[in-house]
Amino acid sequence: DRTGNTTFVDAADAAVPPPGSTPTPTPDTSTPTPTPIPLPTPVPTATPTPTPTPTATPTPTPTPTPDPLAGFVAWLETWIQTWQTWLERLQVGFFP
């Protein structure tokens, strides 16, 4: 209130500096000072460990399996030669 009472200072009087004095700046409390937002610390990316290339194990050369018909063919050739020999002898003996 502005009744001339000097002992009572209201908010409106406190905001007005007395004449001839240098006003002291009062900090503005209407807007709060923004607190700085901390930047996220970068997460170190893990360097991928190189996967070892598998060494090729040499494939064993397969042992050649004997042809099951090879033995039969050899026996058949022997049998044919034997009969040819007997037939030749018979032809010579019977047809001179």
DSSP character string of 1-61: --SS-SS---HHHHHSPPTTSPPPPPP--SSPPPPPPPPPPPPPPPPPPPPPPPPPPPPPP
**Predicted local distance difference test score (pLDDT) of residue 85:** 92
Verdict on whether the full-model pTM lies above 0.75: no
Q: How many CB atoms neighbour CB 76 within 10 A? A: 11
Between 34 and 5, where is the model more confident? Answer: 34
CA 86 to chain CA mean position, Å: 79
Q: What is the pLDDT of residues 19-46, one digit of tens each?
A: 776 666 666 667 666 788 887 787 777 7
